[in-house]
Amino acid sequence: MKFLSPRLTATTALGCALACAAALAQTATVPSPSDNSGATKAAALGKLLFFDPRLSGDNKMSCATCHEPEKAFTDGLKTAKGAAGKSLKRNTQSLFNLGLYSAYFWDGRANTLEEQAWAPIRAADEMNQDPDELVRELSAVPGYVQQFQSAFGTGVTKEGIASALAAFEGTLITRNSPFDRFLAGDKSALSEEAREGWHLFQDAGCIRCHSGPALTDNKFYRLGVDYRDPGRGAITGNKRDMHAFRTPSLRDVARTGPYMHDGSFDTLEQVVQFYFRSTPSASADGLTIDFEPLMGRSFSEIAPIVMFLDSLTGEAPEISPPRLP
């Protein structure tokens, strides 16, 4: 996919805006389970597991080690740190609004929230935990045995662990951002500069990939940011997918820096500038890049676009560490 003509016509831009508004409206009505439902019990169990260092092989790391609630469920680092403090090669993505995705991780190696939950637990470089050993550890904790029985009617199982973590992560929804309110009809929700940024965001073609309820198309692109990481290509074995990464969500993006899969940009201003001028025409392996720099755009447009991106910050659920069994 080569973006040779980034400018949208007025008709196309209006269509994108209306489609985006309709999709974002869906997010405001994401159902929440009732207080007495099995889903609520599973989410409560998932929260315990999320904060429990027993999920790591050395009992020192929890999911919350890299996904800190006060940092929009990221870690604020350029790239994550794994087992024994080892620096990993990719930036930690936020867990907000995961239920709106169709693929998970930068390379899309997981297709469900349950698969996503297990991947870092089992990974040797990350939490380095053996799933069978984890089941044995948790089964020795009476509080967990009771929680699993209440939520699933079973003892501790690998399936239950994944389902509980997925249920908790599915509750991490942000709502009612200034942009949401603007699309709902409150024209005062955005400043004049942010409204200009929304216009420029459409006019520059950003909305082609950043659309829908999570402002991502869930597809994979080669941007030429880094040629060391094979990205999607390592999953599919397809040469065309080498160095391609999933379009990140822009919801709450002002909270989730550093940016790109390798954390190479500290600020949103740097990200927009990259798209304006710095995307290369070909990668080190000679394959084409999926995006050409927007040479016709003025740097004066960067500030309003960033103001628009700031307006995508929603109201986040308040999550505090629980008392573990």
DSSP H helices in 8-112 = 10-27, 38-50, 63-66
CB 274 within 8 A of CB 291: no
CA–CA separation, 220 vs 208, rounded Å? 13
Active-site residue list: 126
Cα(first)–Cα(last) distance of the chain, in Å?
A: 50
CA–CA separation, 130 vs 122, rounded Å? 6
Give the DSSP letter string of 79-137. S-B-GGG-B-SSPPPP-TTGGG-SSBSTT--BSSHHHHHHHHHH-TTTT---HHHHHHH
**What would the two tokens of residue 41 be?**
């019990």
Identify the residue whose tokens are 């829908």.
212
Report the amino acid identity of residue 12.
Answer: T
Sequence-ordered list of residues with C-beta below 8 angstroms from that of 12, at least 6 positions apart, any chain: none
